[in-house]
Amino acid sequence: MMNMKCACPDAGLLSVRLGLAAVFITHGAMKLATVAATMAMFVKMGMPGWLGVVVGLVELLGGVAMLLGVYMKYAGYALAAVMVGAILAVKWKMGFVSGWEFDFVLLTSSLGMAWVGAGEYSVKMPEKKA
């Protein structure tokens, strides 16, 4: 039997980060490019319109952080919070399959990145002097 094990955890982390970045940057940019429609959609769902702008900013900035591999703890937790909100406020009533399953994958992946960090293939931030 062939050993298919890959000892490339940094490549695996990069792969997850790129997937998260693609989804969140796209959705955040769409929300911010159509702010009036985004705000109207949030109001129609019974939420304040300004929350749509906040969600769009978190998605866009969190997605860029995932892409670059910076501020992973903050980005991961913020994106996870957005996905918890999406699941509870919008998708829960649709059930898991074809409802909140994709949002759950984004939620758990974002938490995973917050917990383990970006890996080696990321922009290196200057270290704080103690």
Q: What is the pLDDT of residues 77-101, one digit of tens each?
A: 999 999 999 999 999 999 999 999 9
Type of residue found at 47: M
pTM of the model: 0.91
State how far Cα 111 lies from the chain centre. Answer: 9
Confidence band for 1, pLDDT divided at 50, 70 and 90: low
Domain span holding position 84: 25-116
pLDDT of residue 4: 72
Residue of 39, 29, 36 lying closest to 61 (CA atoms): 29
Q: How far apart are CA 36 and CA 38, in angstroms?
A: 5
Q: What is the domain count for the chain?
A: 1
First and final CA of the chain: distance in angstroms?
51
Residue 88: inside a domain, yes or no?
Answer: yes
pLDDT for the residue 130: 62
* Residue at 90 is within a domain: yes
Whether 66 maps to a domain, the answer reads: yes
